[in-house]
Amino acid sequence: MDSVTMDPVKQMEKASQGSPNHAAGKGVIESPEIKRGGFLKNIFTGMISLAKGMKVTFHYFSHPSTVVTQQYPENRDTLKMFDRFRAHLTMAHDEKGQHKCSGCQICQKACPNASISVVNRSNPVTGKKELDRYVWRMDSCTFCNMCVQVCPFGTLKMENQFESSVYDRRLLVYTLNRYAGPTAQVLGKLESDEERTKQMEPRDPYSGPTPMNGQAMAGVAALGEKKGEGESK
Amino acid sequence: MNTWEVTTLAERSAEALSSSFWGAAGYLGLAMLGMAGFVAVLGMVLIYAERKVAGHFQCRLGPMRVGWHGTLQTVADTVKLLLKEDIVPYQADKMLHILAPLLMFIGTILVLLVLPFSPIVQVADVNIGVVYITAVSGFSVLGILLGGWSSNNKWSLIGAMRAGAQIISYEVSATLALLVVVLFSGSLQLSEIVRSQAEGWWIWRAHGVGIVAFLIFFIASTAEINRTPFDMPEGESELTAGFHTEYSGLRFAFFFLAEFINMFLVAALTSTLFLGGWMPFHIGGFENFNALMDLIPAGLWFTGKTAFLVFVLMWFRWSFPRLRVDQLMRLEWKILLPIGLVNLFVAAVVVLYGLYFFPVR
Ligand code: SF4
Ligand code: SF4
């Protein structure tokens, strides 16, 4: 199409596109409503997109099943927590009560808040290094899940149990392992169950070296008095 | 056919004055008490409704604890607000600071006076009702401006100035849209406008001009009462709380209440002008159908229409993002105002040359 048969408006547009004046106008906010034919189109597309938005919100309004709010204390019995919810670090123990923690302290180094301290000892019989206490400070934990991810043996996991409020913050320091002794793998090589139990010295959640020191507190049930009792769950 | 006689409280009071002074005073007292009670209860109901509706729009439940499904939540909140310490900032203009919420509230109450709730419930029927409403609703912006000015706080001042610019701009469009209805009904009196819709509501009886005017009026009045998506004067993400940043306790409660009553007023006015107010749903000529519709009391029609529009306002608020200030001005001066002017012109031509498809009167 040559320029003679073009209508004047298109000609002007074509001319202005090539002109340096147009390039100088760059950076000016383009408003569609001042373009030819853009005015009504702008209004209609605007209204349609607003209507789309209103449709979405009305869908939520008219479908009460989309509500995610939990009426917590009332529905405590039927409350279902989500798998990914992170509330309480725990050390997995198998049905024989044995864990897989070797005391390698990788998790301790990975923790950004120094919430973990892994205390090791030498086995009184074999003299090999083993886990004595796995101390986790819930009061400084941010539940970032780093410790769970770095553990090479998959020992740690996050539990859903979130009702952890206490009246004394010393009660937020937990010993996670239930016995001091070798890992499940090492224990499995032993001959008899008797020998196994001999090497597993019980540990209580509140008997750790930090702050509770195995003492009872006024007004709080003496959780750490007897070893092996008063577990948190 | 029903003639829809309108009697107002003011008329009854004037009638009673001829026989006894105390009867007249009784009517006036009744009107005042009724208004005060109505405003307080309506404010609480609207705030509760807003929170519930907002909750469900956002996959939440809203208030659930105080009373059955949180119904007493607003009562508790009101009591809390009344008991709170009232802080006036250091070096604030004390008198204006105290005056501002009252001014905003006065504007709201004055509009409420002429609102036709039903043929028998209306405090006063001013014969220039439409002009009166546009005039006195300016009080609320005065309140906002004074509140922002006197607070001695930059956020308040910016919020107040934004409110001023916004209301001045949008009042033009709102009035232009309102004039369309005035043209068609041929009256400035609100009860007369309602009665002129006995054959059908203006929103569709005015040949498409009505629906454009309705949209413009609704958008412009939403902007006038500073509701989202036009809540730049408050804009909590930019201005803390805008013009009422420095208000607390009872005076904040006044601002808050006025805001919610204003929302009701916009819905009520829109329904009065465009959706027939208390006039039942009528189709001109279908006598039996109209008689059936008349069985539902007029007050109920008004409440239903207003409640629907209030819901739409809430729907807007919880769906749309806030506009930028320049977008706001563009919307008014480049879009609403030209359309409003053209619309008014078309309406004038239709009325002048009687280009009606069906008889209007
Ligand atoms: S979850 Fe994060 S903060 Fe908590 S103990 Fe593990 S690594 Fe430390
Ligand atoms: S929990 Fe895992 S990472 Fe941490 S010390 Fe034990 S084995 Fe090592």
Q: Both A119 and A39 in a single domain?
A: no
Residue A179 lies in a domain: yes
Banded pLDDT at A21 (limits 50, 70, 90)? very low
Residue A78 lies in a domain: no
Most ligand 1 atoms within 8 A of CB, residue of A115, A135, A157, A164 to mutate: A115
Query: pLDDT digits over A148-182, tens only?
Result: 999 999 899 998 888 888 877 777 888 888 888 88
Interface TM-score (ipTM) > 0.90: no
Query: Does B219 touch chain A if contact means CB atoms closer than 8 Å?
Result: no
Residue A34: list chain B partners with CB under 8 A.
334
Q: Both A108 and A223 in a single domain?
A: yes
Measure in Å the smallest separation between the Cα of B330 and chain A Cα atoms.
9
Q: Both A35 and A138 in a single domain?
A: no
- Residue B101's CB is within 10 A of a number of other CB atoms, namely 24
Please list the helix, strand and coil fractions of chain A in percent, rounded to the nearest 5, in that order: 35, 15, 55
Residue A154 lies in a domain: yes
CA distances to A84, B140, B255 from B43, in Å: 42, 16, 11
Comparing CB atoms, the residue among A33, A61, A69 nearest residue B61 is A69
Are A31 and B330 within 8 A, CB to CB?
yes
User: Which of A14, A36, A66 is at the close of a domain?
Assistant: A66
Q: Both A151 and A206 in a single domain?
A: yes
Dist CA A58 CA B167 (whole Å): 29
Q: Both A95 and A190 in a single domain?
A: yes
The tens-digit pLDDT sequence of chain B (361 residues) is 456 667 777 777 777 777 777 777 887 788 788 888 888 888 888 989 998 888 888 888 888 888 788 888 888 888 888 888 888 888 878 888 888 888 888 888 888 888 888 777 777 788 888 889 888 887 888 888 888 888 888 888 888 888 888 888 888 898 898 888 888 888 888 888 888 877 777 777 777 788 888 889 999 988 888 887 888 777 777 777 777 888 888 888 888 888 888 889 999 989 888 888 787 777 766 777 777 777 777 788 888 889 999 999 989 888 888 888 888 888 888 888 988 999 999 888 888 887 766 555 4
Question: What residues contact A7, with CB distance under 8 A and at least 6 apart?
Answer: none
Q: Both A112 and A213 in a single domain?
A: yes
Q: Both A8 and A101 in a single domain?
A: no
Q: Both A95 and A58 in a single domain?
A: no
Residue A201 lies in a domain: yes
Domain CATH code at residue A168: 3.30.70
Query: pLDDT digits over B15-26, tens only?
Result: 777 777 777 788
Are B61 and A57 within 8 A, CB to CB?
no
Query: Does B335 touch chain A if contact means CB atoms closer than 8 Å?
Result: yes
Residue B60: list chain A partners with CB under 8 A.
67-69
Query: Does B57 touch chain A if contact means CB atoms closer than 8 Å?
Result: yes
Pairing mode, if any, of strands A129-137 and A179-180? unpaired
Among chain A residues, the shortest Cα distance to B69 is held by A71
For ligand 1, is residue A118 a contact (CB within 6 Å)? no
Q: B325: alpha, beta or left, given left = phi > 0 and alpha = psi -120 to 50? A: alpha
Domain hosting residue A47, numbered range:
3-66
Residue A111 lies in a domain: yes
Comparing CB atoms, the residue among A34, A43, A54 nearest residue B315 is A54
User: Which of A66, A100, A115 is at the close of a domain?
Assistant: A66
Are A60 and B64 within 8 A, CB to CB?
no
Residue B61: list chain A partners with CB under 8 A.
67, 69, 71
Cα A72–chain centre separation: 20
pTM of the model: 0.75
Query: Does B324 touch chain A if contact means CB atoms closer than 8 Å?
Result: no
A contact set with B (CB within 8 A): 31, 33-34, 39, 43, 50, 53-54, 56-58, 60-61, 64, 66-69, 71
Residue A113 lies in a domain: yes
Query: Does B281 touch chain A if contact means CB atoms closer than 8 Å?
Result: no
Number of domains in chain A: 2
